A and B are shown apart, each in its own frame.
Chain A
Amino acid sequence: MTILSGLLRGMISGATPILLAALGGSFTFYAGVFNIAMEGMMLTGAFFAVLGSYYSGSWLVGVLLAVLGSLLLALIFILFAVVLKTDEFVTGIALNLFAVGATTYLLRQIFQVKGVFTHPGIHPIPEIHIPLVEDIPFLGQFLSGQNLIVYVAVLATLISFYIIFRTPFGLRLRAAGYNPACLVSSGVPTNHIRAYSLLICGVLCGLAGAFLSLGYVNLFSENMSAGRGWISLAAIILVNGNPLGLALISLLFGLSDGLGLLLQSYQVPAQFTSMVPYLATLVALFFYARRGRRKKRFEVI
């Protein structure tokens, strides 16, 4: 029982950063921006979250700074990819590396450490205990007592779904990706929609980063996003950006994260258990590709 609940708890906390980043990416995905900067935005968010939390003593300031830092990266992305029309792929790669460099540089400059910064003065994001739900047998321990950001992620999923599929803005957003010329001819500048989508992505990735450094663990280490941005990109490709699908697939990746931790207690070397999420991504891609191929075959018939 404890194994199972440990696994499920690990699943939820492993899924949260991937889900938040993937939701951000789904906005840009629908807007027709090939955005691969989620990794960098998350990393920047994680750093600024620690910075804010450490200096102000309040996790709220940390989260706010995380969002601002991530937004800064989104603004640079907008400047280059949307305004100056630089290739989105190039901008994304350069920004990801910029984020790695800038956070390591600032880590050294501000905290005078290399590698990892951990300090009791970093205030984590609190866990939320919901009074009555807490007492539900078995389920209560998952529904209550989770990190605040976990609930935010659940809310963000529903809100994203609503915004993308049920509001005029969502319609424009999808039109920007589906048929930009049509959107422009009806009087909405595609560039504005794309810029908005990137800003939303910045906010969500900032939250994901804040969860990484103030929720998942309580420290900042160099390159701590560790490919989660890429996994979220894979998730977006797998479910074509649908927020509800993203929630499911993130849980799956979260499960592999939890599974890795579980395997570690069975004497499997840590290096192999750390591989599990990436292997899971490959497996997921494999099934996706097979489904795509079958679909193609139907189309031919």
Chain B
Amino acid sequence: MIQKSINGILGIFTALLIGAVMMLAQGFDPLATYQSLFDFSLFRSSSLATTLKNAVPLVLTGLSASMAFASGVINLGQPGQLLIGALFVTLGGLYIDLPPILMIPFLVLMAMFGGALWAGLAALMRRAFNMSEFIVTLMLNMIADFFTLWAITNPLKDESAFSAMTPPITRSGWLHEIGAFNPSILIMLAAVAGMWFVFNRWNAGYEWRITGQNSLFARLGGCKVDRNFVSIMLVTGALAGLAGGMVVMAGPHRFLRGLGANYAWDGVMIAIVANSGLIATLLYGLFFSIFQTGALGMELITNVPSEIIVVLQAVTVLVIVASREYLNITLDRLAAKRRARERF
């Protein structure tokens, strides 16, 4: 645990250092830049609430990827599942109107259903035709991307809008801020807690984890590996879909072009840095959100383009993962040397 935290902090620090060198090379002042970055994401009034709200899709897609990777399922379809989840919420919000107390749970279910449906399609192809889920989910991402784009430019288009977007969903489906904080944060925390509970307290979660660590052992031990595969795909798809739903319900309240942004791929990166740990996913998700939320403020104050954040994120991931694995190898090597010395 301590080793993990040290690793994470060192990695983040190194990435910030590399970022600083990059900024210096282009004549920007790194200290002022970082100051405005953290200022705008943490210390201004209501900026903490924004950071938390922006963390919701990151953490949920990260959670989806973490669960999948920890269970040995290569579900890289989060971007597509997120979009389809968002599309389902939009559909529900456009054509059905219930009082908020019913509408919000209904839309949440719609989002999860949409994501699970898209992931289920990949699971079906794997189970029925033995097609590798790795490539299938990637291709389905592109297809979902074009499909949703078609949906919002043709049948669902808001005629009064200039660019491709749907009309806003019914008001009772909006997640309004309570104080400064958006209720989607609570839904995110509930999802993390629920998944933690499933993973660590339920038989199903135990089977999934064991399958991820050693699928042969799991099968010999009596786990239904194939059936588990489908349920993992459905659950992780539902999580990614939920992320899309939250983006619509808490944010623009409609499906507009580029809605998915880079949330899902960032989520995959978060899962990778977190080594598929659920709590670590939450923490790194928050951290990525700090970067992304602060980026806009940073651009306003210092002229450093906000895109540099994407570079910083990738560097952070590489440094943390590389140092973690290299550290493990070094520790193993030292242990092996010690053992060799004891023997002779």
Contacts and interface: CB of A to CB of B under 8 A. Distances in A.
Interface of A: 76, 80, 84-87, 90-91, 93-95, 97-98, 100-102, 104-105, 108-109, 226-227, 230, 233-234, 237, 269, 271-272, 274-275, 278-279, 281-282, 285-286, 288-290, 292-293
B125 A282 contact: yes
A109 B305 contact: yes
Given A90-B317, A282-B139, A271 B311 contact: no
Interface string B260-293: 0010011011001000000000000000000000
A25 to B, nearest CB: 13
Nearest to B317: A94
B308 interface: yes
A86 B325 contact: yes
A204 to B, nearest CB: 20
B310 A90 contact: no
Contacts of A90: 272, 317, 321
Contacts of A93: 265, 268-269, 272
Nearest to A109: B305
Contacts of B160: none
Contacts of A94: 269, 272, 314, 317-318, 321
Given A84-B326, A94-B272, A275 B142 contact: yes
A281 B139 contact: yes
B190 interface: no
A257 to B, nearest CB: 13
Interface stretch (B128-136, B204-212, B226-234): B128-136
Interface residues of B, number: 42
B150 interface: yes
A274 B144 CA distance: 11
B41 interface: no
Given A84-B326, A93-B268, A269-B150, A230 B314 contact: no
Nearest to A108: B305
B322 A84 contact: yes
B153 to A, nearest CB: 7
A278 B139 contact: yes
B187 interface: no
Given A100-B310, A289-B130, A105 B305 contact: yes
A97 B313 contact: yes
A65 to B, nearest CB: 19
B207 to A, nearest CB: 24
Nearest to B76: A93
B42 interface: no
A274 B145 CA distance: 10
B269 to A, nearest CB: 6
Given A97-B265, A97-B313, A292-B130, A275 B135 contact: no
B314 A95 contact: yes
A93 to B, nearest CB: 6
The residue among B139, B140, B143, B315 with the most chain A CB atoms within 10 A of its own CB is B139
Closest 8 CB pairs of A and B: A101-B310, A98-B314, A271-B150, A105-B307, A101-B311, A289-B130, A86-B322, A271-B146
A101 B314 contact: yes
B147 A271 contact: yes
Given A87-B321, A93-B272, A104-B310, A285 B146 contact: no
B142 A234 contact: no
B310 A105 contact: yes
Contacts of B326: 84-86
Interface in B292-317: 305, 307-311, 313-315, 317
B147 A275 contact: yes
A28 B135 CA distance: 18
Nearest to B74: A89
B54 to A, nearest CB: 17
